[in-house]
Amino acid sequence: MLRVDSPRNEYYYTPNPTPYSLAIMAQAKKALAKKQRTHSESRTRANTYLNYIGGLWVPSQSGEWSENRNPADTRDLIGRFPVSTTEDVDAAVAAARDAFDAWRLTPAPRRAELMFRVGEILIRDKQEYTADMTREMGKVLKEAGGDVQEAIDCTYYAAGEGRRLHGFTTPAEMPNKFAMCVRQPMGLCGLITPWNFPMAIPSWKLMPALVCGNTVVMKPAEDTPLSTYNLVKACEEAGIPPGVVNLVMGHGSVVGARLSDHPAVRLISFTGSTETGQRVASACAERNAICSLEMGGKNAIMVMEDADIDNAVEGAIWGAFGTSGQRCTASSRLIVHKKVYKKFNQQLVERAKALRVGNGANSKIDVGPVINQDAVEKIMSYIDIGRNEDGATLSCGGRNLTKGDFAHGYFIEPTVFTDVTPDMRIAQEEIFGPVTSVIPAKSLDEAIEIANGVQYGLSAAIYTQDVNRAFHAMNDIYTGIFYVNASTIGAEVHLPFGGTKATGNGHREAGTQVLDIFSEWKSVYVDYSGKLQRAQIDNAKAIG
Ligand code: NAD
C-alpha cells in the first residue's frame, strides 16, 4: 500500500498501484515539493489552466495549449487550456481506478456530505461562475445564472440520495430464504459533455456518479472548459478525495475518443450531437462498455386554435431564441393551427424583431452570440437552405451581424421562417441556432403527425385551453418530455430528462432514474434454512 502527500496535505492510498498510478505518485511528490516552494496553483500563471489528475493540477504531456476566447468579443482572451493527449487520459483513468475502492467503500451518506459542501461552494461563488459562463459561452447573464443554479439544484438533489439509494426486498419462493436487490457502483465513468450547458450538464453526470460511489474522468467541450474547471475546483475545495474526480481537457477526437475506448472505463455518459454519440456508442459496443447517450433534438410547439396566443408567442420566443437557439430542447418548429396561423405569425415576428442581440454580459441584451465561427457558418448555411433550397418565407432575421458592436463576435439575428412544410430540411434537421420554422396544420391530429415526423424525440409542447386535447397530445407524442401551455424547455432536476429515437438510447438523466445509469443492480439471496433448497425444483412439489 502506498501513501502519498497530496497538495492539500491530506493522504490517499492505493491498494494496487499501476504503472500509471506510480507515475502519478512520482509526479505528485514532485509537484508537492514545488508547491511548498512556489505555492503553485491550478493556474500556473494568470489565465493558464491545468488538468486535474489524481488530486493534482498538471499540464498536458503534450505541452500544448488552446485559447478560449469570448464569443461575443474574440479580442477577449479568457485563458489557455491544455490540449491533452491519450497519455493524459490514461493517467487520469489510472488515478480514478486507484481511488475507486476507497470511494466506493466510503458510506454513501459520507460521500453525500462532501457533495453538500460542493453545493455550498457553488452557491457562494454563483455570481463569479455566472460571469465566467457568459464570457466563455455567450448566453446572457440571466440564463448563465440559471445554468449554475441547475448545477446547485442537481448537487443537492443527488446528495440527498446519499441517505436513500434505495434497493428493494421481495419474497423468495422458498421458505426460510430472503431476497433483496442492492445498488452497486459501476466503477470508473467517463463523462463527455457539450458546450451549451457547460456547468449544468457536467453536474447532471458528476453528482449522481459520485453519490453512487463511482470515480470519474471528465472531458468538457473544447469551447467551454472554464465552467467545468470551476465545478472541479469546487469539488477539490469541498474535500472530495484525490483521484475521485479527474478533469482532462482537449479535443474530442483525442481525449473523448480515448476515454470511449479505454478498457478500464466501464461507463461513458455522453451528451452532444447524435453523430458523435453514435461514434461513442460504437467504441463502447466494441468492448462491451455501458453507454448512456443524450443527443440532438428538433422540438415542436403545437399551437391550437383555442390557445392563449400571447402566452404561446412568449413560449415560442423563449424556446426558440433563448441561449441563441443553442439548446437541445430549443423550439425549432412551431406547428400552428391554420385558424390562428396569421395572427400567431404576426405577433411572433414582431416580438422576434424586437429582441436585442449583443454581448450577454449586458443585462439589456436578450440574445447573445452563437458559440464559434463554425456555428455561424452552419446556421447561415441552413438559412440559405431555407430560403433557396426549401423555398420557405424568411419573415424576419436571417443576417450574420458583423459590423459595429458585432464586429468581433459571432452574432446572428433571430430568424423566423414561415410557410414551412414538414418535409423541408429546415423542418427536419437540427440547426442549433436562433432559427425557427412555423408550419401550418389543419387539425390536432395533423399537428401530432408533423411533430412526430422527425428523427429526434426530446421535447414537445402544446398550447390549448382544452384538457381533452392536451391529454390526447400527451399520449400520442413520442418524446421524453412534454409540456402543456409552456415552452419546450424548462426541465427540473428531480424529473427524468432524455429523449426517444435519435435523441437517446433509452436512459434518463436527472430524477432518481439517473441512478440506474450510474449503479448496477445486485440481486442477493440469503438462505437460512440450513439445507439445500433448489429454486424452480423443490417448490414445484408444493403446487403439484
Ligand atoms: P459534439 O457532439 O460536437 O461534442 C460533444 C462532446 O463530445 C464534446 O466534449 C466533444 O469534444 C466530444 N467529442 C467530439 N468528438 C468525439 C469523439 N470522437 N469521441 C468522443 N467524444 C467526442 O456536440 P456539441 O456541439 O458540443 O453540442 C451540441 C449538441 O449537443 C447538439 O446536437 C445538442 O442537441 C446536443 N445536446 C443534447 C442534450 C440532451 O440532453 N439531449 C443536451 C445538450 C446538448
pLDDT tens for each residue of 378-389: 999 999 999 999
Q: Kindly tell me if the per-residue pLDDT of 4 is higher than 80.
A: no
Q: Kindly tell me if the per-residue pLDDT of 12 is higher than 50.
A: no
Q: Kindly tell me if the per-residue pLDDT of 502 is higher than 60.
A: yes
Residue whose C-alpha cell is 385558424: 339
Residue 512 to residue 199: CA distance in whole angstroms: 20
Q: Whose CA is nearest to atom 39 of ligand 1?
A: 294
Distance 51 CA to ligand 1 centre (A): 20
Nearest to 284 by CA among 257, 245, 247, 249: 257
pLDDT band at 126 (very low <50, low <70, confident <90, very high): very high
Q: Whose CA is nearest to atom 21 of ligand 1?
A: 256
User: What would the mean pLDDT of 369-381 be, rounded to a whole number?
Assistant: 98
Q: Kindly tell me if the per-residue pLDDT of 36 is higher than 50.
A: no
Structure confidence at residue 454 (pLDDT): 98
Structure confidence at residue 30 (pLDDT): 57
Structure confidence at residue 10 (pLDDT): 33
User: What would the mean pLDDT of 421-430 be, rounded to a whole number?
Assistant: 98
Residue whose C-alpha cell is 440532438: 296
User: What would the mean pLDDT of 463-477 be, rounded to a whole number?
Assistant: 98
In three-state secondary structure terms, 211 is helix
User: What would the mean pLDDT of 73-83 be, rounded to a whole number?
Assistant: 97
Nearest to 221 by CA among 177, 179, 271, 184: 271
Structure confidence at residue 398 (pLDDT): 98
pTM surpassing 0.85? yes
pLDDT band at 22 (very low <50, low <70, confident <90, very high): low
In three-state secondary structure terms, 291 is strand
Residues 6+ apart with CB under 8 A from 57: 7, 31, 40, 41, 42, 50, 51
Burial of 251 (0-12, 13-18, 19+ CB in 10 A): middle
Structure confidence at residue 542 (pLDDT): 54
Exposure string for 434-466, b = 16+ CB within 10 A, e = fewer: bbbbbbbbeebebbbebbbebebbbbbbbbbee
Residues 6+ apart with CB under 8 A from 313: 344, 347, 348, 351
pLDDT band at 539 (very low <50, low <70, confident <90, very high): confident
Q: Which atom of ligand 1 is nearest to the CA of 251?
A: 11
Residue whose C-alpha cell is 491550478: 42
**Which of 235, 284, 328, 396 is flagged as catalytic?**
328
Write out pLDDT tens, residues 98-115. Answer: 999 999 999 999 999 999
**Inter-residue contact 447 to 337 (CB < 8 Å):** yes
Structure confidence at residue 335 (pLDDT): 98
Among 37-51, 200-214, 239-253, whose mean pLDDT is lowest? 37-51
Q: Kindly tell me if the per-residue pLDDT of 38 is higher than 50.
A: no
Distance 132 CA to ligand 1 centre (A): 21
Question: Is 235 annotated in the active site?
Answer: no
Sign of CA dihedral 317, 323, 325, 328: negative
Structure confidence at residue 411 (pLDDT): 98
**Inter-residue contact 321 to 351 (CB < 8 Å):** no
**Inter-residue contact 498 to 508 (CB < 8 Å):** yes
Q: Kindly tell me if the per-residue pLDDT of 28 is higher than 80.
A: no
Nearest to 125 by CA among 9, 8, 229: 229
Mean predicted lDDT score pLDDT of the chain = 93
What is the distance of C-alpha 68 from the center of its chain? 20
Distance 204 CA to ligand 1 centre (A): 15
> Which residues have any ligand 1 atom within 6 Å of their CB?
192-197, 219, 221-222, 252-253, 256-257, 260, 271-273, 276, 279-280, 294-297, 328, 430, 432, 458, 499, 503
Mutate-to-test residue for ligand 1 from 154, 201, 229, 271, highest number of ligand atoms within 8 A of CB: 271
Q: Whose CA is nearest to atom 18 of ligand 1?
A: 253
Percent of residues, the chain, with pLDDT higher than 90 = 90
Residue 182 pairs with which residues in a beta bridge?
522
Structure confidence at residue 14 (pLDDT): 41
Exposure string for 398-409, b = 16+ CB within 10 A, e = fewer: beebeeeebebb
Residue whose C-alpha cell is 443527488: 158
Between CA 70 and CA 77, with CA 72 as vertex, the angle to 5 degrees is 25
Structure confidence at residue 531 (pLDDT): 97
Structure confidence at residue 40 (pLDDT): 43
Structure confidence at residue 213 (pLDDT): 98
**Inter-residue contact 51 to 42 (CB < 8 Å):** no
Distance 192 CA to ligand 1 centre (A): 8
pLDDT band at 544 (very low <50, low <70, confident <90, very high): low
Residue 463 to residue 469: CA distance in whole angstroms: 10
C-alpha cell at 310: 400571447
Q: Kindly tell me if the per-residue pLDDT of 15 is higher than 50.
A: no
Structure confidence at residue 66 (pLDDT): 97
Question: Is 294 annotated in the active site?
Answer: yes
Nearest to 259 by CA among 217, 231, 196, 309: 217
Structure confidence at residue 3 (pLDDT): 35
Write out pLDDT tens, residues 245-299. Answer: 999 999 999 999 999 999 999 999 999 999 999 999 999 999 999 999 999 999 9
DSSP codes, 21-66: HHHHHHHHHHHHHHHHHH---SBSSTTBB-EEETTEEE--TT--EE
Q: Which atom of ligand 1 is nearest to the CA of 223?
A: 26
pLDDT band at 27 (very low <50, low <70, confident <90, very high): low
In three-state secondary structure terms, 344 is helix
Residue 54 to residue 196: CA distance in whole angstroms: 27
